[in-house]
Structure 1
Amino acid sequence: MTASDNTPAAPSIANTVFAEGKLTIGITLPITGDNQSVVDFNEQIAIARLADRLGFRALWVRDVPLNSIDYPDPVGHLDPWVLLGALASNTERIALISGAIVSTLRHPLHVAKGAISIAALSQGRFILGLGSGDRPPEYAAFGRDPDARRDLYREHWDTLAAAVTLPSRVIPDSAPEGAPEFYLLPRQHASIPMLAVGSGGQSVDWIARHSLGWMTYHREPQAQRGRYSMWRAAVERAASGAFRGFGVAMRLDLSKDVDEPASDIALGYRMGRRALIEVLHDMRESGTHHVTLNITSERRAARDIIEEVAAHVLPEFHR
């Protein structure tokens, strides 16, 4: 693969991650141990290559603009566009997904430029996941009003959609008399899929109308089934008969004991691989189309966990 070869991916990368009646599995980067703040990003690139080779469907990258002592995530995240560029250059098949760009704190035309750049580098393997952020002090640091979050999210989504959907067009904040008509380069070969990660302060009906799907956090099974039922009802109201994906981010502490039953941890489970297969089967039957694993490597090396999941879990779902 070369960066200059811009042959679009086929079929659409969104269809390889979200497909009706199926469940696919991805990985969230970076992978760290509990309370680990220093990340070996060369190791993260090696993990990405391994996940790509072993058949995971997606790599997810978070956007954490600022850290503070009161924010519970101590990890030193790279800028998402920098990391996504490195992943695009070091993988060949796996989908790359921003999970999620904090669109309310970035100008939408800058986000669009980043999105089409990653789509070009990855040969069409990029899905633009968008969130709104939820920390009022971070809004203040960027000169934004947290009470305007919902409106900003919708406005920026519309500007982004115009820019990354073919035919692409730039919607300027203002256009003085005599201003040129702007456009974005490199030229796109296909529209970039857009995904709502979290609610962004919007109704599920709005998300169903505008997004290829809805990505949410882990909840206990009964609550998640109710969440999916609410989503399906919204999709039927917004686009009757259409398919819209539903995905879950789930933390995984995989035991060496293959028979260890599932036990709750924050935003996921500790369990052996047999319980993991059961949990994923139940999620698929309940309407989940994609699960990204937020792997904790406190007890085991991340590579060991990834290789075990690839050997014994992926064949159950990635046929």
Structure 2
Amino acid sequence: MNTTAFLPKNKALPSTSFANHVGYRRMFAPDKLTLGVFLPLRFYQGDEQVLKGQIELIEYIDQKNFAAVWVRDIPLFDPMFGDAGQLFDPLTYLSFIAARTKQVALVTGSSIFSLRHPIDLAKAATTIDQLSGNRLVMGIASGDRAIEYPAYGIDYDQRAARFAQSIDYFRQLMQHGSLEIQSPLGTISRAELLPKPVAGQIPLIVTGASGQSKQWIADYADGWLSYPEATSHSEGAIRLGQKIATWRSLIPNNDFRPHMTNDWIDLVDDPNYPRTPLRGGFTLRTGRHGLIQLLEEWLAAGVNHAALGIQYSKRPAAEVLQELAEDILPHFPSHTTVEGKSVDW
């Protein structure tokens, strides 16, 4: 589907620079790779108490200098998917995490832009941006759980068009002064959204295709998260690199746009345990040497940030995080070139 046709002629384009954006600069730099952690640290399996004590581990992630923590946007639990995410509303939860951390980037992975109205998304996003000291980075998507669309009264087949329209509307809301917005999603005349984001824009990272072409993602996204190819052997990273290179060749003016990927890992005690696919390849069981090898392959492929989920790990979450922090993170340090913004609300 060519969703460019759904955007107005004066399209709100990506930012040409996030040089002063704290969260973005902590995560991304050309030819470098940083590490983030996907929440929850343990999957919900009928008992919400599985999340008890998670905030202390998030504080540990922050203290140990991981680049980011990631939260999912799953409005309704569909047992057919078997994954309820972190249960809490993602932006509300990030506000809570922001109050308990100091430097880690706060990332949605991913906010379902096709289901949410841009005004509500923008109001929550700019609020978190201000309260966290400019640490919010938004992974965004059109959603893949068909059960959610009729619940919102939205046609599932319109999700790609609504996604493109929502991004344009969201970015126009960031502008200063009285707004004049004409969109299929609503009309604004002589009004303004407050607060404004600290650095002028909120980074919008498109997840997967979200119903768009690679050219559209190159033209309108502030970055791209694509799912990894096979992670148990080096050929997967080679294919991923080819996909990234094709996308980057389409970006106007050869601007730097970061690429991200993610994987669910079962990190075992034996550091030499070979890279072994589980669950049809959706999870990787490996030791730390195998994980370092994979991350190095991703770096060579052009990946700038890797988000790791440890939900399937057999070992305690605290133990896995400690090994990641002590033995793997030093190979892929977070960037600290931008000073955090002071928060005094």
Do these two structures clear the TM 0.5 threshold for a shared fold by scoring above it?
yes
Match of 2:96 in 1: 86
Instruction: Determine whether 1:53 maps to 2:66.
Output: no
Match of 2:10 in 1: none
- The answer to whether the 8 A contact 1:204-1:231 is kept is no
What does residue range 124-135 of structure 1 map to in structure 2 within 5 Å?
124-135=134-145
Determine the C-alpha separation between the residues in 1 that align with 2:119 and 2:213: 24
Indicate how the Cα distance of structure 1 residues 91 and 19 shifts in structure 2: closer, same or farther if over 3 A, else same: same
Q: Which of 234, 237, 240 in structure 1 is aligned with 2:247?
A: 234
Match of 2:261 in 1: 248
- The answer to whether the 8 A contact 1:39-1:76 is kept is no
Determine the C-alpha separation between the residues in 2 that align with 1:126 and 1:63: 15
Q: Which of 259, 262, 271 in structure 1 is aligned with 2:272?
A: 259
Instruction: Determine whether 1:183 maps to 2:192.
Output: yes
Indicate how the Cα distance of structure 1 residues 227 and 167 shifts in structure 2: closer, same or farther if over 3 A, else same: farther
Instruction: Determine whether 1:296 maps to 2:306.
Output: no
Indicate how the Cα distance of structure 1 residues 299 and 99 shifts in structure 2: closer, same or farther if over 3 A, else same: same
Match of 1:4 in 2: none
- The answer to whether the 8 A contact 2:74-2:85 is kept is no
Secondary structure class of the residue paired with 1:171: strand
- CA shift digits 1:30-81 (9 cap, x unpaired): 1115856534444221111000000100000000000133232145611111
Q: CA deviation at 1:212?
A: 1.9
Q: CA deviation at 1:231?
A: 3.1
Aligned length: 309
Indicate how the Cα distance of structure 1 residues 310 and 166 shifts in structure 2: closer, same or farther if over 3 A, else same: farther
More deviation, 30-39/235-244: 30-39
Secondary structure class of the residue paired with 1:217: coil
Q: Which runs of 5+ in 2 are unaligned?
A: 1-17, 335-345
- The answer to whether the 8 A contact 1:228-1:246 is kept is no
Indicate how the Cα distance of structure 1 residues 131 and 29 shifts in structure 2: closer, same or farther if over 3 A, else same: same
Determine the C-alpha separation between the residues in 2 that align with 1:317 and 1:76: 26
Q: CA deviation at 1:223?
A: 4.2
Indicate how the Cα distance of structure 1 residues 282 and 243 shifts in structure 2: closer, same or farther if over 3 A, else same: same
Counterpart residue type for residue 128 of structure 2 = I
Q: Which runs of 5+ in 1 are unaligned?
A: 1-7
Q: CA deviation at 1:125?
A: 0.3
Secondary structure class of the residue paired with 2:197: coil
Counterpart residue type for residue 273 of structure 1 = R
Q: CA deviation at 1:157?
A: 0.8
Instruction: Determine whether 1:215 maps to 2:225.
Output: yes
Determine the C-alpha separation between the residues in 1 that align with 2:252 and 2:283: 31
Match of 1:3 in 2: none
Tell me the C-alpha RMSD between the 2 structures: 2.4
Indicate how the Cα distance of structure 1 residues 10 and 194 shifts in structure 2: closer, same or farther if over 3 A, else same: same
- The answer to whether the 8 A contact 2:41-2:309 is kept is yes
- The answer to whether the 8 A contact 1:165-1:192 is kept is no
What does residue range 99-118 of structure 1 map to in structure 2 within 5 Å?
99-118=109-128
Q: CA deviation at 1:268?
A: 3.2
Counterpart residue type for residue 258 of structure 2 = G
Q: CA deviation at 1:137?
A: 2.5
TM-score by length of 2: 0.83
Q: CA deviation at 1:234?
A: 2.9
Q: Which of 145, 148, 155 in structure 1 is aligned with 2:155?
A: 145
- CA shift digits 1:107-137 (9 cap, x unpaired): 1110001100110111100011111111222
Determine the C-alpha separation between the residues in 2 that align with 1:125 and 1:216: 22
- The answer to whether the 8 A contact 1:18-1:245 is kept is yes
- The answer to whether the 8 A contact 2:267-2:286 is kept is yes
Determine the C-alpha separation between the residues in 1 that align with 2:192 and 2:272: 56
Determine the C-alpha separation between the residues in 2 that align with 1:167 and 1:189: 16
- CA shift digits 1:232-276 (9 cap, x unpaired): 223322314221111111111110111111111242311111111
